[in-house]
């Protein structure tokens, strides 16, 4: 089988297409033919050795796939050859023609659900439903401010926020992205400049956030961006608001802790990988809710572009540029 491998630390150009032996499933495992692999920001970091997990090389990045069962390992009784599934792989391996997944963690992809969209569902929407429900305690009538709202997790936050009954204020960096978040259901849209910002620019950005969320402030702020945007957004938080720390493509910010003190606000870290490893039952309930919303048309992954396996490095590079609206997916 072919696989796109990280053979040394570096950017997407260091990935190499290679021929590997067909993998064999062990006890409790399934071998699947990969239909699609969703690309996520950790894929940008993991090939540069900048992520929390560092798989031994060579390895294929990509942790979110849809596939068709080709072989069944010992002890697996509830899967059959030909079944379609969605799977997450902690150590990667998705950028390949075949992959081995744990049967207990695989999710059935029922007829009528698109395999490409399925490969763009769990990581972004799973992170977001955990963030908004478990960490942000978002409730009906709350105001939700979403930074980087046209990215994968950003669009998921807009859709899930609306599904949960919030007023959603979406912040994006240009007009094309604004159109996408309006289509996803955002109630208000802010188009901000790209940082870094000087003192005047930071004040203007904070003022735009405050104006958009209204005098009561944002009850929940969803921040998958970081950098200079964090300080400005935090100034728009409501009394006892919850600030959700999701990611840092614009850099790790230094927070002035007097701001959460004055608003009695919570700074809440969101580490979805740790959550579903520690709380598998609650994770499964979240997934069930996501599948229901997907079936109802209340959420739907936005696929920006589909790449071939040979061009998988281009998909990762595009995500690193922060130009993607929704998700990019690789189809072997």
pLDDT at 187 over 90: yes
Mean pLDDT, range 168-194, rounded to an integer: 95
Do domains 2-121+301-331 and 125-273 share one topology? The answer is yes
Instruction: Report the CATH architecture of 2-121+301-331.
Output: Alpha-Beta Complex (3.90)
pLDDT at 18 over 90: yes
- Write the secondary structure of the chain as one string of H (helix), E (strand) and C (coil): CEEEEECCCCCHHHEEEEECCCCCCCCCEEEEEEEEEECCHHHHHHCCCCCCCCCCCCECCCCEEEEEEEEECCCCCCCCCCCEEEEECCCCCCCECEEEEEHHHCEECCCCCCHHHHCCCHHHHHHHHHHHHHHCCCCCCCEEEECCCCEHHHHHHHHHHHHCCCEEEEEECCHHHHHHHHHCCCCEEEECCCCCCCHHHHHHHHHHHHHHHCCCCEEEEEECCCCHHHHHHHCCEEEEEEEEECCCCCCCCCCCCHHHHHCCCEEEECCHHHHHHHCHHHHHHHHHHHHHHHHHCCCCCCEEEEEEHHHHHHHHHHHHCCCCCEEEEEEC
Q: Note the pLDDT of residue 133.
A: 98
pLDDT at 78 over 90: yes
Mean pLDDT, range 302-312, rounded to an integer: 97
pLDDT at 249 over 90: no
Q: Note the pLDDT of residue 53.
A: 80
- pLDDT tens string 284-301: 999 999 999 999 999 999
In the predicted model, what is the mean pLDDT of the chain? 95
Q: Where are the domains of the chain?
A: 2-121+301-331, 125-273
pLDDT at 322 over 90: no
In CATH, which superfamily holds the domain spanning 125-273?
Answer: Medium-chain alcohol dehydrogenases, catalytic domain (3.90.180.10)
């Amino acid at each position: 089988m072919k696989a796109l491998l990280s053979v040394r630390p570096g950017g997407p150009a260091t990935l190499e297409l290679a021929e590997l032996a067909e993998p064999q499933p062990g006890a409790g495992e399934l071998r699947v033919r990969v239909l699609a692999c969703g690309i996520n920001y950790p894929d940008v970091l993991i090939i540069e050795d900048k992520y929390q997990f560092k798989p031994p090389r060579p390895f294929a990045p990509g942790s979110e796939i849809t596939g068709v069962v080709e072989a069944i390992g010992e002890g697996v009784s509830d899967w059959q050859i030909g079944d379609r599934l969605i799977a997450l792989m902690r150590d990667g391996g998705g950028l390949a023609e075949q992959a081995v997944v744990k049967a207990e963690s695989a999710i059935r992809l029922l007829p009528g659900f698109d395999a490409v969209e399925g490969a763009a569902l769990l990581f972004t929407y799973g992170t977001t439903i955990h963030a908004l429900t478990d960490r942000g305690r978002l409730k009906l009538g709350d105001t939700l401010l979403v930074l980087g709202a046209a990215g994968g997790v950003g669009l998921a936050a807009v859709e899930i926020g609306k599904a949960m009954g919030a007023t959603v204020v979406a912040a994006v960096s240009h007009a094309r992205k604004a159109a996408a978040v309006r289509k996803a259901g955002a109630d208000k849209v802010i188009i901000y400049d790209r940082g870094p910002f000087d003192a005047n620019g930071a004040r203007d950005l904070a003022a735009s956030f405050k104006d958009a969320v209204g005098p009561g402030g944002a009850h929940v702020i969803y921040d998958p961006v970081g950098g200079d945007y964090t300080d400005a957004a935090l100034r728009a938080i409501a009394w006892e608001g919850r600030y959700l720390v999701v990611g840092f493509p614009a850099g790790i910010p230094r927070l002035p802790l007097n701001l959460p003190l004055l608003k009695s606000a919570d700074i809440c870290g969101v580490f979805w990988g740790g959550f579903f490893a520690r709380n598998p039952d609650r994770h499964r309930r979240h997934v069930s809710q996501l599948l229901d919303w997907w079936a109802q048309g209340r959420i739907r992954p936005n696929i920006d572009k589909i790449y071939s396996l040979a061009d998988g490095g281009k998909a990762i590079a595009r995500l690193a540029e922060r130009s993607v609206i929704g998700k990019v997916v690789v189809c072997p």
